[in-house]
A and B are shown apart, each in its own frame.
Chain A
Amino acid sequence: MPDISPDRLDGYLLVAGILFVAGVFAIISRRNAIGVLIGIELMLNAAALQFAAYGRFAPSAADPQGQTAAVFVVVVAAAEAAVALALFFAVYRTFRDVDLEATRELRS
């Protein structure tokens, strides 16, 4: 059984795992591109939380490598959100919708 306590790794791993699985479900099952983006953000957050948790309980805790890696995850998420929303804007101007099923212009 997982040991739920702020001083143990288990609780953080449990939360991060649930977030990751929820993100995967959202990415596969959503038809709207913004819903897919929400799923991606959930997965990125799960990864950042794992980095931070493992970095916190690392052998040499004085060396915050995990925290630094989590900051880079946030940076990548910010860049990804900016580009994704620009793409949504462009797709919306063309198709009047960001439904992934409706935007099939490139389909052969």
Chain B
Amino acid sequence: MIETFLFVVSSLLAIAGAIGAALVRNLFHASLLLGLCLLGIAGLYLFLEQHWLACVQVVVYIGGILVLILFATLFSADVMGAVQRRSPALLAAGGLAAVLASAVVVRLALAGRSAADARPAGDMRPDAFEGDTFTVGDLLMGDWFVPFFAAGLLLTVALVGSVVIVQRFRRPAGEVADA
């Protein structure tokens, strides 16, 4: 009972955060609402008994990516006054895209659910789940070694690349300021 209650609370946190982040005009508030959404998803990972993933969600997403986004929001605009006006055309386009996307999502979710229901009974039960850190580590060093290596390469390239991008634009920016 209490489990269902906490599950609903986590879900509502994620949903409210996501809808708020998409709709709110102030970008700073949108970033904070994104943090709320990420926290709710971390709670859902706990209910999926994927504790390690919940920790990764909090540490990497909330501690890393969200802080980066907040930093970018703070340096880019006059923070609290920056109200992002959206033209009716953009809002209509967004609404249309959202309707199309929800049609696809509902169709895929129904297909996935019926595929899950088609399996022998008992598979949906959360018994004997061994998705712990050790098994994930074994997978990363075994079947998933090539993706693991590629992810490391991707992170290295991304970090070096972002430094290079910022460096390259440092000198022309000074010239623009002089002109």
Which residues of A are interface residues toward B (Cβ below 8 A)?
A: 4-15, 17-32, 34-35, 37-39, 41-42, 45, 48-49, 52-59, 61-65, 67-68, 70-72, 74-83, 85-90, 92-94, 97-98
Alpha-carbon separation in the docked complex, A21 to B71 (Å): 26
A58 to chain B, nearest CB (A): 8
For the complex, would chain A's binding face be called helix, strand, loop or mixed by DSSP majority?
A: helix
* Chain B residues near A29 (CB-CB < 8 A): 22, 86, 90-91, 93-95
* Chain A residues near B116 (CB-CB < 8 A): 9, 54, 57
Q: Which of B60, B135, B158 contacts A83 (CB 8 A)?
A: B158
* Chain A residues near B140 (CB-CB < 8 A): 68
Q: How many residues of B contact A (CB 8 A)?
A: 93
Task: Tell whether, in the assembled complex, residue A17 and residue B169 are in contact, meaning their CB atoms are under 8 Å apart.
Answer: no
* Chain A residues near B76 (CB-CB < 8 A): 32, 34, 88, 92, 97-98
* CB pairs A–B below 8 angstroms (27 shown): A9-B116, A9-B124, A14-B109, A25-B98, A26-B21, A28-B94, A29-B94, A30-B90, A31-B85, A32-B77, A32-B84, A34-B31, A35-B84, A38-B34, A41-B69, A42-B21, A52-B45, A61-B130, A64-B50, A71-B53, A71-B56, A76-B154, A77-B61, A78-B64, A78-B65, A86-B163, A93-B170
Work out how many contacts link A and B, with CB atoms closer than 8 A.
257
For the complex, would chain B's binding face be called helix, strand, loop or mixed by DSSP majority?
A: helix
Task: Tell whether, in the assembled complex, residue A45 and residue B41 are in contact, meaning their CB atoms are under 8 Å apart.
Answer: yes
Q: Which residue of A lies closest to B144 (CB)?
A: A68
* Chain B residues near A94 (CB-CB < 8 A): 169, 172-173, 176
Task: Tell whether, in the assembled complex, residue A18 and residue B86 are in contact, meaning their CB atoms are under 8 Å apart.
Answer: no
Q: Which residue of B lies closest to A64 (CB)?
A: B131
CB contact under 8 A between A90 and B165, given known A56-B50, A79-B155 = yes
